């Protein structure tokens, strides 16, 4: 697959976006192309850290277009402005994520030592997880959908979004997500600043259709916007 980017293709991407556009060329009609914004990560994964602003536009020969990634306002603003907004948006336990690796990236909470065993926020999820029957997984494992949650996407998503205590049919309603603490406010920030609210803030963020996965049969071209 070839990749491309250009202001003519991604409206408002601004002069921080660079690259070239190439057509995908002839593809058999059975060809299906899939992509998601946290590129460069193997398998089912989420951002280990937010380092570059990314957006994709996938266009098919049938005329369809799909866009995912950071929204145009986020692309237009300076890097320092994005870091500042993140720090203002998240609660106290998450604020230092904006300074841990500044100005290069904002690590996901599961990759920050304060949420790992021995860290001062190591028990961030302990009480809530136990209240819904999960006493086996650490806070870092919950953020990363590891441990027993590796095979339980519903519970991992429910814990990250703070909906695990709700009836099953209500756990997939985005209107209920991130309404109480503890929750994954790193993930919420990127959803709030994403095209159509779709992002991959944690593994299994595709549960209930909230991830930035896109695909098309018989693709024409893919535009990749990269911003600093």
Helical pair 185-192 and 79-89, crossing angle rounded to 10 deg: 130
pTM flag (> 0.85): no
Question: How far is the C-alpha of 12 from the C-alpha of 122, rounded, in Å?
Answer: 40
What's the pLDDT score for residue 48?
A: 54
In order along its 228 residues, the chain shows pLDDT tens digits of 333 333 333 333 222 233 333 343 333 333 444 454 443 232 334 555 567 888 888 989 999 988 988 999 998 999 999 999 999 999 999 999 999 988 889 999 999 999 999 999 999 999 999 999 999 999 999 999 999 999 999 999 999 999 999 999 999 999 999 999 999 999 999 999 999 999 989 999 999 989 888 788 888 998 988 887
**In the beta sheet, which residues pair with residue 56?**
68, 224
187-204 tens-digit pLDDT: 999 999 999 999 989 999
Q: What is the pLDDT of residue 49?
A: 59
* Model pLDDT for residues 74-87, shown as the tens digit of each residue: 989 999 999 999 99
Three-state secondary structure of the chain: CCCCCCCCCCCCCCCCCCCCCCCCCCCCCCCEEEECCCCCCCCCCCCCEECCEEEEEEEECCCCEEEEEECHHHHHCCHHHHHHHHHHHCCHHHHCHHHHECCCEEECHHHCHHHCCCCCCCCCCHHHHHHCCCCCCCHHHHHHCCHHHHHCHHHHHHHHHCCCCCCHHHCCCHHHCCCCCCCCHHHHHHHHCEHHHCCCCCCCCCCCCCCCCEEEECEEEEEEEEEC
C-alpha dist (Å) from residue 53 to 69, 73, 81, 190, 213: 8, 11, 13, 11, 16
* pLDDT, position 54: 85
pLDDT digits (tens, 9 = 90+) for 117-144: 999 999 999 999 999 999 999 999 999 9
């Amino acid at each position: 697959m070839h990749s491309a980017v250009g202001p003519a293709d991604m409206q408002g991407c601004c002069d921080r976006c660079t690259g070239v556009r190439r057509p995908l060329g002839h593809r058999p009609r059975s060809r299906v192309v899939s992509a998601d914004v946290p590129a460069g990560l193997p398998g089912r994964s989420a951002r280990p850290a937010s380092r570059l602003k990314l957006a994709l536009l996938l266009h098919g020969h049938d005329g369809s277009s799909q866009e995912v990634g950071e929204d145009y306002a986020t692309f237009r603003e300076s890097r320092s402005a994005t870091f500042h907004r993140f720090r203002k948006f998240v609660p106290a336990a998450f604020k230092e994520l904006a300074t841990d690796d500044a100005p290069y990236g904002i690590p996901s909470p599961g990759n920050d030592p304060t949420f790992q065993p021995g860290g001062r926020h190591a028990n961030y999820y302990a009480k809530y997880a136990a209240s819904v029957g999960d006493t086996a997984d650490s806070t870092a494992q919950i953020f990363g959908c590891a441990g027993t949650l590796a095979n339980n996407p519903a519970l991992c998503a429910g814990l990250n979004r703070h909906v695990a205590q709700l009836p099953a049919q209500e756990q997939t309603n985005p209107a209920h997500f991130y309404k109480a603490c503890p929750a994954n406010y790193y993930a919420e920030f990127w959803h709030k600043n994403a095209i159509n609210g779709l992002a991959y803030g944690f593994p299994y963020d595709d549960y209930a259709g909230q991830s930035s996965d896109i695909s098309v049969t018989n693709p024409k071209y893919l535009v990749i916007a990269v911003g600093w």
